Structure 1
C-alpha cells in the first residue's frame, strides 16, 4: 500500500480533489490512532489525542469517522494491509519448509517495521470490543489458511496444526511488540521455524509430512 505518513494538503488551484483529500485524512487519522495507542493503549486513548497527533480538527475527524471505535476498526484494517497481508508472500522453491521460513521471516520483518500497527492487531484489538475481536479472529484464520497453502497442507488435522502455529506466532510476538524489543521479536522466527520443522518431522501437518519411508 502507499505510504501513509502525514503530509500537508496543498491549497489553491492545485488543491487535490475532495476524494483524495478524504483518503489522505482517513489514512492520517488511522496512523495517528495506531501511533497514539502504541504509547497509551486503547482504553486510555481519547479522540483528542488522535486529533493532536494527526494535526486535524475535530470536525474533520467526525466527518470521516463516527466514533473512536470506528477509527480503530479502520486502523485495524490498515494494520492488516500493512502487516498481515504481507505475511505469506509467494515464495519460490520446492521445499515447503523453506517457503515457510521465508514467509515467517518476511512477516516478522514487516511487524518490526510497523510496530504501532502490529501492536494494534496483536494487543489492542482485545480491548476494543467484540467486533475488533471478531475481525482479529478472522484474520488469524486467514493467516492459518495461507500458511497451509505455503506448506501444501490439505487435511483437517494439518490445517488445525497451521492454526496452532499461527496462534503461537501471534502470542510470542505480542510481548516484544509491546516492549518495542526488536531483538526479541526477531528471535521469534528461528524458534518458530525450528518448532515447525519438528512438527513436520512428526507428521503433524498430515499426509506427505513426517519421516520418509
Structure 2
C-alpha cells in the first residue's frame, strides 16, 4: 500500500507481497480495510511509543523538543509509509479517519502532559500545535520534500516556546 496507496492496492497485491495465500489472508482479516486498519493502528501505536519513550529532560520545552525530534525522525525515515498513514488513511473510510483522530488526540495528550496544560485554553493551544505539526509534515510529504521534515524541528520548538513559556 505504501507504493500504490490504499485505493490502488488489491488483496491480491497484499497476499503476493506478504507471501501468503488468499485463504490465510482471509483467516486473519475480513477485508483490505481491516488489514489496513490493523496495520495502521500497529504503526501509530509504535510511533507513539517511540516518541514518548524518548529520554525525559527537565524543562518542558526540552521534553517537547525531544519527542518532536523523535516523531520527525520516524516520519522522515519511512516517507512512503508515512504518506500512506498520514494521507492515505482518508481513503480507507470513516472508521480509519476516526482511528487517526483518536491517535492524534494521544499526541495532544502527550503535549498537554509535557506543558502541564490544564485549562481549556492551554489544551486548545496543544491541539493547535499538534494540528500545525501534522499539516506541515503532510505538506512536506505531498511535495516530496522529505529532507525538509526534520528541518521543521527548530521552528516548531520556537513556536511551542512562544506558546507555552512566559
The normalised TM-score by structure 1 is: 0.72
In structure 2, C-alpha distance between the alignment counterparts of 1:50 and 1:175, rounded to whole Å? 28
1:165 matched residue in structure 2: 129
| Contact 1:101–1:193, Cα closer than 8 Å, also in 2 | yes
Q: Partners in 1 of 2:117 and 2:97 — Cα distance?
A: 27
Is 1:72 matched up with 2:39?
Answer: no
Corresponding residue SS for 1:40: coil
Unaligned runs of 5+ in 1: 1-36, 201-208
**Structure 2 vs 1, CA of residues 90 and 186 (structure 1 numbering), >3 Å: closer, same or farther?**
closer
* Deviation, structure 1 residue 41: 1.4
Aligned residues: 166
Note the residue ranges of structure 2 that are not aligned, 5 or more in a row: none
SS in 2 for 1:43: coil
Question: Distance between the aligned counterparts of 2:139 and 2:24, measured in 1?
Answer: 34
Q: Could you tell me how far 1:61 is from its partner in structure 2?
A: 0.7
- The 2-side partners of 1:162 and 1:68 are apart by 34
Distance 2:40 2:162 in 1: 33
Relative contact order, CA 8 A, sep 6+: which one is greater? 2
Point out the structure with the larger helix share.
2
For the 8 Å contact 2:51–2:71, the answer to whether it is kept is yes
Query: Cα distance, 1:182 vs. partner?
Result: 3.0
> Alpha-carbon deviations, 1:48-76, whole Å to 9, x = none?
11111111111111111110001011011
User: Where do residues 17-28 of structure 1 align in structure 2 (5 Å cutoff)?
Assistant: none
The match for 1:176 is 140
Q: Following the alignment from structure 2 to structure 1, what is the Cα–Cα distance between the partners of residues 11 and 122? A: 44
The answer on 1:81 being equivalent to 2:34 is no
1:180: how far off? 5.1
The equivalences for 1:50-69 within 5 A come to 50-69=14-33
